[in-house]
Amino acid sequence: MSSCVNAFSPPWEVLDLVSHHLDPKTLAIAACVSKTWAHCFSSDHLWDPLCTTHFPSLSSLTTVATAVPRHRLYALGHTAALRRQRKPRKPRLSLDRLLFHLSVHLPSGAVDILKPCSDMQRDMHGMFRFDVEVEEEREWSLEELKAATVTWTVVEKDWKAVFTVAEESGGKLASAIDGIFSKELPSPGCCSTTMSSGLVADIRVGLKDEQDELCCNIGSSRSKGSRKNRIEKVSVGVLSVLNWRHVTLEDGLFYLEKFLEV
């Protein structure tokens, strides 16, 4: 069969003449016919102008990657272009699979909340930020708030996995004006020891000053002496340090699924 093909194969010069009128896909198919056709239709003088036309950024590589065939460079550029056109996937993790454990530990007690994330009040703009009302009647002094430790843990449904997003202490609860910002969150992936995540946890605790019945955020209260505060609400979210804005809901879920091994 191969001898018949060779017997009726057109001369190399004819193949070369025809090749200048073929598109990249046809050239690639023709190169698979035989060794002779592969030699002809994979020639650099055919693929070099195609690389320059379709992928100008790759044309500069020809001066340093002289050993790389031009049809190979074109294939790399074509594959990269297809990847760019792919729609980003949705996170596999969903809110109905998560529970948030919010804990405020004080010297004389604690406020613990374990609530399904889907039942919490979400940000109206689609950001990764949630509010939960606290049904706690106990009152706390300023000194107790200064010694508090605030913890935010994410639990996957049925307790398949847990991830502690933040654990902050050392007076932040009583001194923060706009909220408690954690240390930078760990970066997901294999390069977590060398790359920065660029994210921090944002925790806000709403206090009610029982003396003047003023509802305010942490730090806004002018508590002095024996004045007591009651914790009414806890808000949590994830912020980007690049613009100090909350990340989107999808980006937050993408981040968590890296640690919950979804």
| 8-17, 109-118, 139-148: least confidently modelled range | 8-17
- Check: CB of residue 197 under 8 Å from CB of residue 185: yes
Residue 223 pLDDT exceeds 80 = no
Residue 156 pLDDT exceeds 90 = yes
pLDDT at 170: 61
pLDDT tens column, 179-203: 688 889 998 865 555 567 899 999 9
Phi, psi of 182 (to 5 degrees): -75, 175
pLDDT category of residue 172 using cuts at 50, 70 and 90: low
Q: Using a cut of 0.85, tell me whether the model's pTM lies above it.
A: no
In 107-227, beta strands by DSSP E? 109-116, 121-122, 129-133, 140-141, 149-156, 162-168, 180-184, 199-209, 214-217
Q: Report how far residue 140's alpha carbon sits from residue 228's, in angstroms, rounded to the nearest whole number.
A: 5
Average pLDDT, the chain: 80
- Span 90-113, average pLDDT: 90
User: Does 209 or 70 have the greater pLDDT score?
Assistant: 70
pLDDT at 216: 43
Q: Report how far residue 262's alpha carbon sits from residue 256's, in angstroms, rounded to the nearest whole number.
A: 9
Structural domains of the chain, with CATH: 2-85 (1.20.1280), 95-260 (no CATH)
User: Does 24 or 261 have the greater pLDDT score?
Assistant: 24
User: Does 116 or 137 have the greater pLDDT score?
Assistant: 116
pLDDT category of residue 208 using cuts at 50, 70 and 90: confident
